Structure 1
């Protein structure tokens, strides 16, 4: 809803979401998601962005690899699929999953793939729930609240997009690059804004036989920011990438009050993560300084000590922007002798402190 429509007494739009974390297929869902589908999703989906870090890495690679003559005239776009989960056919999901296994996991036996498909089919059929005393069963689409939902949606949408869109050179002739986070897409377009509208129309024509529809899309010319996930980005007239933090108009920026009964590290962690989230997203120092000043004002409203916020803000301002994940180790880090981990119990650390050199 628009911010000016959020008034007392207004009923916002709602829809039922099946909470399958306690469903009959919970254990098998968690098992196959962690052991098989998450890695399969990454290997199969060529357009996939897992989070905003992936999006930032993608944008930085575009700035690095594209010619200045292209970047200085490029239009940035985003789009959104209408009711994605409700639009996906269970049969199409199973068909796409089988295609992904055949393409990316040829070592998996036929029996194993059939076993996997049967478990996924069981999960899809387990989409039942109770609400206000009434039982409901999903009549169309696939569940939205289970351990497999995101992986299955990503695999299916990529299969459809590759079949109907990405493989069509005529449709993709003006698209420099396109990426997707579940049902949200973003990319760089080399044509006019008017031709972009025709492009979206052609996409919907191609996607219609699969039950998908793009109901929202935006394109912004050079120098105009466009929002995607929690990022705003554009390319300027000089071909330089500009990124900024995006917050929804309805975001009150209300943080945990400092007077709440929580350990002190909770509050320092909130301030630190907020500041370094901005540091990661924003690639311009002056813009970062302004956003951190705004953030400091919100923390002040929540009762945070000025000394705590100033320290975190200064550290973020003087730190180098880093898009590398914590799990990504450099070659030098991997060559370091692994540390020895010691698990102790409360009250028994005195001897450890005397005998272990930190």
Structure 2
């Protein structure tokens, strides 16, 4: 990518005074002092132990940096270039319609450890959000095998979710969930501490770009630990209002269908719509009036529609699922000659094949996707024997068990234990 073009596009984002402002100097030392004062205030109430306070503040913090991830799959210029050039590497120097996802990279930012603690404390509340989908595997569990013949497949997407959540809205959302489900919060931590700490993280997102320092004025940083959980709870809070508005606007059955059928992964939403087009327009109007800063776009189809990595298709009453790849996906998997450990490379064919066997519901289509996968891996110099062995092992698995694995799996979260924060 042309460096000057990239810099120009990022500065365009940072020049938006609604979201960012330039500051005179690096504020990280002031921010860490704010964190220390917060922890000192709450040590007396046993929210924080001395060891925890030391862990949250005594480290080599560094200023965050701002960068943009190009949304190449949403650029028609790049998509057309891929089709025209038909190559793994394309020439498209300055696409005029390319947009960037703003990332604040700060693994050692002064608030990052506090943000991590907030993520641990707040994450258990996500299970109370009716629409919550953890990943595409979780989504597959909610899909029915059959639907009404006249039903439509509908997806909605929130425009720039992270940067459009105002702090007032987000904190009100956290208050709502904490007050409604206090049993989901570790009893050692007070409501006041969690809200104050979350507010501190949200209001002190500073970073640098091109030698200048900035403060984010609106939204949360895509890069801070608590951001996904915070966004999930905020939209879940708005969805509670949505269910109530739907109950008043539609009949009982329609309102229940919305409440039970609306599923969401962060800013991506899905529902099987059994009502009229007029009612769908009304519903879109409802969701777009939940908050003045949160806007939804809509896609619908009576045949097929993508959601996450899944292509959902409807044929009559039957629902089937297939792999979904963005138009810009060139299937450039890790090359077998790379310097990664041997066991990592040997596991790739199996894990990719297992994913195909999980998502693709039709056996004929599954075999077609596995054949395509084999071809892609051969291009990356994977030995045919390793590929075939991985596919064979994946095919031996029962799809029902893949979608519904045994309960009691080891949690991937770090846990806050009674008596102290477990740090690993």
TM-score by length of 2: 0.69
CA distance in 2, matches of 1:304, 1:260: 11
Match of 2:125 in 1: 40
Are the counterparts in 1 of residues 155 and 298 from structure 2 also a CA contact under 8 Å? yes
Aligned pairs (5 A) from 1:268-287: 268-287=346-365
CA distance in 2, matches of 1:107, 1:324: 24
SS at match of 2:221: coil
- Pair 1:208–1:25, CA change in 2 (3 A): closer
Aligned pairs (5 A) from 1:80-99: 80-99=157-176
- After superposition, give the CA deviation of every residue in 1:256-305 in whole Å (9 maximum; x if it has no partner): 11122233212111111100000111111111000000000000110111
Match of 2:321 in 1: 243
Match of 1:212 in 2: 294
Deviation at 1:74, TM superposition (A): 1.9
State which drifts further: 248-257 or 138-147.
Answer: 138-147
SS at match of 1:71: coil
Deviation at 1:110, TM superposition (A): 11
From 104, 109, 114, the equivalent of 1:28 is 114
- Pair 1:250–1:111, CA change in 2 (3 A): closer
SS at match of 2:300: strand
From 251, 256, 260, the equivalent of 2:334 is 256
RMSD: 2.3
Are the counterparts in 2 of residues 232 and 244 from structure 1 also a CA contact under 8 Å? yes
Match of 1:180 in 2: 264
> Are 1:315 and 2:417 matched, yes or no?
no
Are the counterparts in 2 of residues 23 and 126 from structure 1 also a CA contact under 8 Å? no
Structure 2 alignment gaps of length 5 or more = 1-74, 83-90, 410-424
Are the counterparts in 1 of residues 351 and 390 from structure 2 also a CA contact under 8 Å? no
Structure 1 alignment gaps of length 5 or more = 330-358
Report the number of matched residues: 314
CA distance in 2, matches of 1:107, 1:136: 36
Aligned pairs (5 A) from 1:100-139: 100-105=177-182, 112-139=190-217
CA distance in 2, matches of 1:197, 1:33: 36
Match of 2:68 in 1: none
Are the counterparts in 2 of residues 276 and 316 from structure 1 also a CA contact under 8 Å? yes
SS at match of 1:156: helix
Deviation at 1:325, TM superposition (A): 3.9
Match of 2:225 in 1: 147
- After superposition, give the CA deviation of every residue in 1:166-206 in whole Å (9 maximum; x if it has no partner): 552225547461100111100110024464344323431x2
Match of 2:80 in 1: 4
